[in-house]
Amino acid sequence: MLIKTLVENTSLTQNFGNEHGLSLYIETNKHKILFDVGASDLFLENAKKMDVNIADVDFLVISHGHYDHGGGLKLFLQENKKAKVYIHKEAFQKHYSLRQAGEMEYIGLDADLKNNSQIIFTSDYYSINKEVFLFSNISLKEPKPKSNKGLFMERNGEIINDCFAHEQNIAIDEGGKTLLITGCAHNGIINIIEHFNALKGYMPSYVIGGFHLSSRSFGNEDFDTIDNIAKYLINTKAKFYTCHCTGIKPYERLKFNMGDSIDYISAGSEIVI
């Protein structure tokens, strides 16, 4: 499998733009997959620089209903008229973030896109084909990240804490290896991996994505929490690549504990597994 990072908070070189968001291109022997489309049109600009033709993508997965993962959806649908777009059925609910100044900012998806014919709504478990499946409704063995603080959703006209039922993850099997990709791991990276293990009976070979150990408004998780996560991740024997909402300082702490078991990906980076 080939994984190209189209959008991330940082860039590998000045040639690639960056933003608070995530978009990954995954190429397998059978499929060309896009996972998230960042916050803007940047995913397309960087895709061109990385020799990725968005019109050739077979399907897109939107990890959850926040703009930094689905902000480029309108442009994707303009550029690609054939791909199915897999979005959790609750992702188009209204989502908000409480900023430090005290204002509530809308951070959801563009509701005008909800009825597009390319969109397929998913739920707890959705098998795209024999090699690729999506899963959500994560069982909580560990607390969700504290850095979820300040994230809200609207339900029945009331603003409540976001429960992240709209967050889904993707698993891809190929050549005896399994790649698990998370968007932000709002449900907790340990919980997500444990849920995957309960579904499949084994651990993933590789894990890529944000672990939500940092919040732009409310800071980072404490080192004790990060150290416990690192201990768990090492014991899975998987190789980890993290990014986006993990945060640089939390990543550095994970790296201190995990060594070569974890690395950071930036816009413009490529991984072959």
pLDDT digits (tens, 9 = 90+) for 252-267: 999 999 999 999 999 9
Residue that the structure tokens 């499998």 belong to: 1
- Altogether, the residues listed in the chain come to a count of 273
Q: Which segments of the chain have a pLDDT < 50?
A: none
Instruction: Give the DSSP H or E segment for 97.
Output: strand 95-98
Please give the domain boundaries of the chain with CATH numbers for all domains.
Answer: 2-272 (3.60.15.10)
The confidence score (pLDDT) of residue 176 equals: 95
CA distances from 219 to 6, 20, 210, 253 (A): 25, 15, 15, 15
pLDDT of residue 219: 82
| Stated pTM of the model | 0.97
pLDDT at 217: 72
pLDDT for res 99: 81
Q: What is the pLDDT of residue 9?
A: 98
